[in-house]
Amino acid sequence: MNEPRRLEEFAVAAEAETLIEFRDVGVILGGQPILQGIDLNIRRGEFVCVIGPSGCGKTTALRLLAGLLRPSSGTVLYRGEALSGPRQNIAVVFQDYARALLPWRTAAGNVALALESLGVPAAERGDRARELLAKVGLAAHARRYPAEMSGGMQQRVQIARCLAQNPDVLLMDEPFGALDAMTRQSLQDEVLGIVAATGATVFFVTHDLEEAVYLGDRVIGLRPHPGRIGIEETVPLPRPRDQLTTREDPAFLRLRRALFDFTKSAKA
Amino acid sequence: MTRLAPFAWRLAGLGVGILLVLLWQRIADARVIPAVFLPGPDQAWASLLAGFESGGLWPKLLATVLRMVYGWLLASLLGIAIGAAIGMSALARTYIGPTLEFLRPLPAPAIIPLAIAFFGLSDTMVLGVIGFGALWPMLLATMHGFAAVEPRLYEVARTLGLSRLGVVVKIALPSSLPDILAGMRLGLTIALILAVVGEMLTGQDGLGTWILRAARAFRAADLFAGVILLGLLGYLSAQALSLVESRLLRWRARAR
Amino acid sequence: MSGRRERGGGAAAKAVIVPAALLMLAELAMRLTGFKSDSVAPPSEILVAAFQALHDGSIARATGETLLSAFGGLAIGGLVGLIVGIVLGSVAILDRLFDFSIETIRPIPPIALMPIALMVFGFGARLEIAVVAFAAVWPVLILTRAAIAGIEPQLLEVARALRLGFGARVFKIVVPAILPRLFVALRLATGVAVIVAVTVEITVNPVGLGYAIMIAGQSLRPDLMLALLIWIGLVGWGLNFALQATERSLFGFAMPRARP
């Protein structure tokens, strides 16, 4: 079902809209250069995964896109305009889900927070929130508080809240890092499903090389101190991806090997 | 069995309380301590009834309650507003915070002579002292609450495009509510104490004056009746606040 | 991290700027306008009054009277609170049975008992000690009870496994386990004791710092009144500080996680 869509996108590739552009971006924090000379173009609908050892600045790059940080040099462009602050159609999923949710609101209430900031009229909010929670499989838990939910469920609430913004861009900062392997895999597939349905552009930061290859259209590897782009690989695997077959695909294994070698050399 | 148990324990606790009252009665009857110092519960109860029937005790009770509540409400509004403003501003916290913390251990009653110098021995003075005394715990608690809001939530608010007012009302305030309520509880205790002290000093009509006069005239039964009323006042107001707190902080109780 | 060095000296300076500026402003304003009042005095006069009172021993004597009553009441109330707290903390059944009674007596404001003590003892130190004792019981009782109830069950199992006798169990396991929290209770109760003592003095008792401050106000000596006010604050702060320092040196290993 998604195959023709992908082909269509390839056909239009030459004219595919560049949604996000990093132009010679540098970031200096506390006197230390965190990022340097980052040049990157991300097309609309692309799923970009960013990997690299600790300290390579991948979270910093994400925060630039989130509008939570301004570059010290260079420009970050969104739709051709310099990004000056957070945008309502760029949604962020934080790694520490417990801290990113309001503990005093139910799951529905947390999702409603996004709807409130969008100005959705009060009468519609309840239904919309429940719809969004249903998309992440939490319809039955709408009235639960975050403290009553598992880590995986809390992360899904965060995702649902992001979907409420009808985002063009999804920024995900190691969203599944704190979860167990099984939850991680099911959430990976859920994200792929959501992205396929909405056509959102994704900037996905992760430590997990296999996750990066499994999810992405492109994998960017950063070298640390200061953060620079060290490797850029297109992922030629077909969609939809499958936890078993995709991971056994020789192209998958080849890419994984290449990224592993890169990470080792980058840490050195 | 487990459903019944907490209820049974409460009943048993009440039973123990009744036993203690009976013990008091026995000690009073035995006249081990002179009756002028320790009246029995029967006498205290009789005095209580007489006071209410004659109509003299109601206005006094009401006066004390109103004083306490007005002063406390005023202090709450000011304390929360100022505490919120200071708590949310890192600049204010750096420059003003330490001074406020330093003033914390200042006993509120010590302000009374100053208040008398300003307002004389009037009802305004009492109200002012109650308000001032109850202000500090609420201001400080609110300040701490607002300063301790999870920073990640502020970032979430920014990415969602929440307005400044929205951040205060939807994020900072609910986050600080446990601290604010704790401050309000402390403020209520202080308000009661200062109301009684204020009444004793100024002779304004109220329970404080009543028990002081009873003591000076050695009317022990009246005195004990008044003390019991004050204890009841303290107990009920604390319970009322507890009830409100448990409703507002429902989400805390549901943690896994 | 260039912010780090700024934090030490810079923060202290910033903390003092606003109050210092306000004091100087008040001083200048009152001096220049020749402001005379029965309720406020310029900071310089307050300082002078403070030194005078320190010099002629009046503050020392008043402080002594207040602290005598405060510590006296603290000793009595603290002991009662300690014993009852230990009993209730150790015997869960008693704890549950007496919970209702304790929760009904506790809310009685200590100052409400002052007339009773006045009737029995008349004016003087005993009046204050009695009221302070009642007030000091509660923080000690509640925190001791919590301390006993909060002893790691494993520690008691260790005691049983080692077949320690009752005495050894108490002194080698229980006491060291609860000592840090008892000290916190002592610190809090001391604060309560001083406040209650001063309150009783302000209300009726003609001794101590509370009485001194009332007299200063009535004699229309705002400088002395404010000086005494600041002094009372300093005494309270000083006691708290000293106890906290002792706490840290004795029990550094058991530092409470949350700061009040």
Return the bridge partners of A40, or none: A22
Residue from B96, B197, B216, B241 whose CB has the most chain C CBs within 10 Å, to mutate: B197
- DSSP H/E element including B196: helix B173-202
pLDDT bucket at C150, cuts 50 / 70 / 90? confident
pLDDT tens digits, one per residue of C216-256 = 888 888 888 888 988 998 898 899 889 988 888 887 765 55
Interface check C33 vs A, CB under 8 A: no
Q: Which residues of C touch B103 (CB under 8 A)?
A: 233
Sheet of A47-51: strand order equals: A90-93, A169-173, A201-205, A47-51, A218-223, A228-234
Contact between C122 and C208 under an 8 Å Cβ cutoff? The reply is no
Name the residue in chain B with its Cα closest to that of C7: B94
Interface pTM, i.e. ipTM:
0.87
**pLDDT of A212 strictly over 90:** yes
Cα distance between residue A199 and residue A189, in whole Å:
15
Binding partners of A (≥3 Cβ pairs within 8 A): B, C
Please tell me the distance in Å from A30's CA to the nearest CA on chain C: 5
Domains in chain A, CATH or no CATH each: 3-14+44-69+167-267 (3.40.50.300), 101-165 (no CATH)
pLDDT mean over B63-79: 94
Task: State whether B113 and C217 contact (CB < 8 Å).
Answer: yes
In chain C, the largest separation of any two C-alpha atoms, in whole Å, equals 79
Contact between C67 and C127 under an 8 Å Cβ cutoff? The reply is no
Q: Which residues of B touch C191 (CB under 8 A)?
A: 105
- More confident of the two residues C144 and C35: C144
Nearest to B218 among C16, C119, C195 (CB): C119
Please tell me the distance in Å from B20's CA to the nearest CA on chain C: 8
Model confidence, pTM? 0.83
Interface check B85 vs C, CB under 8 A: no
Task: State whether A66 and B159 contact (CB < 8 Å).
Answer: yes
* pLDDT computed for residue A7 by the predictor: 58
pLDDT tens digits, one per residue of C98-114 = 988 898 898 899 999 99
Cα distance between residue B166 and residue B169, in whole Å:
5
Cα distance between residue B212 and residue B216, in whole Å:
6
Contact between A47 and A217 under an 8 Å Cβ cutoff? The reply is yes
Q: Give the tokens for residue B239.
A: 């319970």
- More confident of the two residues A16 and C136: C136
Q: Which residues of C touch B106 (CB under 8 A)?
A: 229, 232-233, 236
List, as ranges, residues 126-185 from B with C-beta within 8 Å of C.
Answer: none
**pLDDT of A261 strictly over 70:** yes
Burial class (CB in 10 A: 0-12, 13-18, 19+), B213: middle
Domains in chain C, CATH or no CATH each: 40-251 (1.10.3720.10)
Q: Which residues of A touch B163 (CB under 8 A)?
A: 117
Q: Which residues of A touch C3 (CB under 8 A)?
A: 30
Average pLDDT in chain A: 90
Comparing C-alpha atoms, which of C144, C97, C117 is closest to residue C204?
Answer: C117
Nearest to C105 among B99, B118, B231 (CB): B231
CA end-to-end span of chain B, whole Å?
24
Tokens 């995702």 map to which residue? A159
Please tell me the distance in Å from A29's CA to the nearest CA on chain C: 9
Task: State whether B159 and A113 contact (CB < 8 Å).
Answer: no
pLDDT tens digits, one per residue of C192-224 = 999 999 999 999 888 999 999 999 888 888 888
pLDDT tens digits, one per residue of B142-164 = 998 998 899 999 999 999 999 98
Interface check B49 vs C, CB under 8 A: no
Task: State whether B197 and C199 contact (CB < 8 Å).
Answer: yes
* pLDDT computed for residue C110 by the predictor: 92
Ramachandran region, residue C34 (left: φ > 0; alpha: ψ -120 to 50; beta: rest) = left
Task: State whether C195 and B107 contact (CB < 8 Å).
Answer: yes
* pLDDT computed for residue C193 by the predictor: 93
Tokens 């448990």 map to which residue? B246
Domains in chain B, CATH or no CATH each: 61-247 (1.10.3720.10)
Handedness of CA B39, B43, B45, B50 (dihedral sign): negative
* pLDDT computed for residue C1 by the predictor: 43
Q: Which residues of A touch B254 (CB under 8 A)?
A: 145, 147-148
pLDDT bucket at C18, cuts 50 / 70 / 90? confident
Please tell me the distance in Å from A211's CA to the nearest CA on chain B: 25
What are the b/e assignments for A176-209, b being 16+ CB within 10 Å? bebbeeebbbbbbebbbebbbeeebbbbbbbebb
Cα distance between residue A123 and residue A117, in whole Å:
15
Name the residue in chain A with its Cα closest to that of B163: A117
pLDDT mean over B50-76: 90
Nearest to A145 among B171, B175, B251 (CB): B251
Interface check C2 vs A, CB under 8 A: yes
Binding partners of B (≥3 Cβ pairs within 8 A): A, C
pLDDT mean over C63-67: 93
Interface check C1 vs A, CB under 8 A: yes
